[in-house]
Amino acid sequence: MQINPAVTDGLGQLKWINLKATTEKTSSANGNERSTGVSASAFATMLQAMSTSSESSSYLTSLPDATSVSSLLWQQIGGTTETFNNIISGEITGSTPTSYDDLIQKASAKYGVPIDLIKAVIDTESSFNPNVVSSAGAKGLMQLMDGTASGLGVTDSFDPAQNIDGGVRYLSYQLKRFGGEEKMALAAYNAGPGRVTDLGVTNDQELLEKLSLLPKETQSYIFKIERARAQYAV
């Protein structure tokens, strides 16, 4: 989770320490085989090309609606429209197992955040590595910044129980802040709520129409979460 500006490389991608490689992977953290469809580097290149194209300022709004934008990108990264529609409609509620299921289920019940969304955030943030630290100083499974962790009552961000409880609690705050609009909440989780508020949007569709105004890393983050969510939903 990026609360303060993160250190990025020339492509606007967040630099990580001890995170998963940007090549295709074939197994999840718990050893179950899974297909990524396309490498993270190829995905990032696609997003960069969209945002730097001479038509970038009008590309998103030139499509019939913002949902079409999401669905189009979803298909380009190897998903299906049916799966995408299920995700955005909230129809997918099940989830494949991980090493932290008990902690995730407890936090989900406590804060009202879907289990598969929590798993997708953890996978995207840390690849289920409880000891990872980003170059911006975010720590643990859900990448908590020290200031945020302290405000949430987390004394040890490397403790999975504290990190998951604090991260899910913070995510639930963003969901409540933005009226349950998940993409807005995810953008706030990654870039900070001020970035989302400054856009003047009121729902996910409007957010997608102004997606190019967000940092490239946040643009990519939103779709990575959706993609990861499909892997944990059944």
User: Could you list the active site residues?
Assistant: 125
102-107: long-range pairs with CB below 8 Å, 24+: 103/160, 103/161, 103/164, 103/165, 104/164, 104/168, 106/165, 107/164, 107/165, 107/168, 107/169
Both tokens of residue 169?
């609690």
C-beta of residue 35 within 8 angstroms of C-beta of residue 26: yes
Neighbour count for residue 23 (Cβ, 10 Å)? 10
Gap between the terminal Cα atoms of the chain: 26
User: Strand, coil or helix: what is 54?
Assistant: coil
Task: Give CA–CA dist 134/220, Å, rounded.
Answer: 17
Dihedrals φ, ψ of 53, to 5°? -65, 150
